[in-house]
Amino acid sequence: MQRRVTTATLAAAFAVVVAIATGAHGATAGTLTSTDLATAGTGSPYYRIPALARSVQGTLLAAYDARPTLGDLPSNIGVVLRRSTDGGATWSTQQVVRRDAAPAGNGDPSLLVDRETGRIFVFYASSVNQGYLGSGTGNDGSDPGILQADYSYSDDDGVTWTHERITADIKDPAWGGLFAASGEGIQIRKGTYKGRLIQQYAVRKNGANYAASAYSDDHGATWHMGGLVGPGADENKTVELSDGRIMLNSRSSAGYRKVAYSSDGGVTYTALQNDTELPDPANNGSIARFAPDVAASHARSSWLMFSNTATKSGRSNLTVRLSCDNGQNWPIRRTAEAGSAAYSTLTPLGDGTGSNPSVGMLWERGGVQAIVYSSFDLKWLGGVCAPVTVTPPAALPAGRTTNVTVRVTSQNDVTLPAGTVSLALPAGWTAPTVTVPALNPGQGANMTVPVTVPAGTTAGSVTATATYEVRGSQHSYGDTTLTVTAS
């Protein structure tokens, strides 16, 4: 089943304005196009846990669990896969990567492509008697009471697979459960650790959850585990930044994503900290380089993309974001699915350059009724690299008008023309749209927005969003919390 959402938004490509008739794979530019790859009850009672990658031959690989119930391991789960050799326009029939006889199970896939050798890895957890929470300590690869760390690899572009077990290589015997965080691992493209493969894991130790990076410097011949990051982590991803550091981005129960940084190729990380621009309801998300192979001097070397269900509670509002500064700010965002959704994972469909490159996303729709493949382009995302910061006053008295400061900072490499900034406020509140002057590269401007709070408004905190609009259809956003006091 295909669904198409059309928009008139313009490309967010650093002020490059080019007339484009079509996007990737013949789709109309400025669209998000979606196809259900697996539907609950067809071929398997349930499907969960999406993984997505693009091989060195350009083949898209979509892996996920085929589950007899919605329960996690231990259960007789199998890892299955569909392939597309035409950029996602059509997909092969579903094939089995690994399925074992009951009670054994294999689940939570994560793809990783070695772009130097072409080998494709699928990491997953394998169980007999115990899952993540019940797994015993130790690292005996034959112990049915231990959740095992396995992977399969393919040297023929994902057609056939060979299975390996690396529990003894990467698991400290003092740890309990350990599983590969689903989605996609990375290969470091530049610098001291160029060629290193990194797959993220969630680790259970003494009843607490941690993150850790398993890594290989010999194309997967041997694997090692870095230090634990946490506690307070969960399913997590990494991304290579333009300055050579590795950023770890983790699901957590704190209401926001947690991030940490590594300067040694993922072996050790800084302490976790909340990214308050990325709300999260304890759900798996995705972070990736937009243009992974461009030089550090390229304008898009610091572009990151991120997806998750952007709420603090409940899994809904699947949102795609773009950062133009290595994840320091996330001013560009668009909702891909307003309703119920769950896990998601992103991968670029090209080198990320040009006027309107595209991205693929594999995600779970609804109460995991389907595994959905979507593709979109920069025109659909419709943003502009200009972070918006809102500085509210200490309080806004009900029944009065109070000034709120909104700052827009251009990260474009050419001048932005004059635009506007507006505030989305609760019903009954008023605030005018304010003009933003033209901004040169790196220049910022503060705007004063008078906000009127209706008399009788209940004291407390409310959320508000500032929207910067330029060229009539490019947007960036900034969120804030306003404190209301009684009049």
Longest dimension (CA), the chain: 70
Residue closest to 421 by CA, chosen among 410, 437, 441, 439:
437
Give the Cα separation of 377 and 23 in Å (integer).
7
Question: Which residues are CB-neighbours of 339 under 8 A, at least 6 positions away?
Answer: 316, 366
Give the Cα separation of 223 and 201 in Å (integer).
13
Told to judge if 479 belongs to the known catalytic residues of this protein, a careful annotator would answer no
Told to judge if 72 belongs to the known catalytic residues of this protein, a careful annotator would answer yes
320-351 burial by CB neighbour count: b if 16+ within 10 A, else e?
Answer: bbbbbbbbebbbbbbebbeebbbbbbbbbbee
Give the Cα separation of 422 and 435 in Å (integer).
9
Query: Rounded to whole angstroms, what are the CA distances from 463 to 343, 392, 457?
Result: 26, 11, 14
* Tokens at 307, concatenated: 């997806």
For residues 439 and 446, is the Cβ–Cβ distance under 8 A? Answer: no
Catalytic hit among 210, 269, 343, 373: 343
Give the Cα separation of 307 and 321 in Å (integer).
6
The DSSP code sequence of 39-99 is ETTSSSSEEEEEEEEE-TTS-EEEEEEEESSS--SSS--EEEEEEESSTTSS-PPPEEEE-
Told to judge if 343 belongs to the known catalytic residues of this protein, a careful annotator would answer yes
DSSP H helices in 142-235: 167-170
For residues 187 and 115, is the Cβ–Cβ distance under 8 A? Answer: yes
Catalytic hit among 65, 184, 234, 235: 235
Residue closest to 411 by CA, chosen among 441, 438, 447, 390:
441
Give the Cα separation of 227 and 243 in Å (integer).
22
Question: At 446, is the secondary structure helix, strand, or coil?
Answer: strand
DSSP β-ladder status, 183-184 and 105-113:
parallel
Catalytic hit among 46, 47, 72, 132: 72
Give the Cα separation of 167 and 175 in Å (integer).
11
Give the Cα separation of 319 and 472 in Å (integer).
22
Q: Which residues are catalytic?
A: 72, 235, 343
